[in-house]
Amino acid sequence: MRTVNGDSRDDWGRRLVRAWMVLLGLTLVSVGAALAGGTNNRSGLVAVVVALVASFIKARQVLDHFLDLRRAGPGWQAVFTALLLTILGSCLVLYVIAGWHG
């Protein structure tokens, strides 16, 4: 049986379909959080945090399953995780700062 990066083609295809379904579900979670966010600061902050957590998980899915980072060493995985946390943490900090000054 043919393999793709050590997985059988069937396993590889199923893994990518599962990852795609997770991405789709998390997109729906993000949209739902945005729509339910409301106009007050607390509910808006909760919606942003939910969306950012979903974004982190989505980015990890893409990195792990579509770019095959799951096979990389722990150093590379840590670097990409740190980059994601830095970017998403910066987005959260900027949102909070904008709320204080808005």
Q: What is the pLDDT of residue 39?
A: 67
How many structural domains are present in the chain?
Answer: 1
**pLDDT confidence of residue 36:** 84
- Backbone angles phi and psi of 28, in degrees to 5: -65, -40
Q: What is the mean pLDDT of each run of 10 residues along the chain (102 residues)?
A: 67 90 95 81 86 95 92 94 97 90 68
Domain of residue 51: give its range. 3-101
pLDDT for residue 72: 92
pLDDT of residue 41: 72
For residue 30, CA distances in Å to 6, 34, 35, 66, 74 come to 33, 6, 9, 21, 29
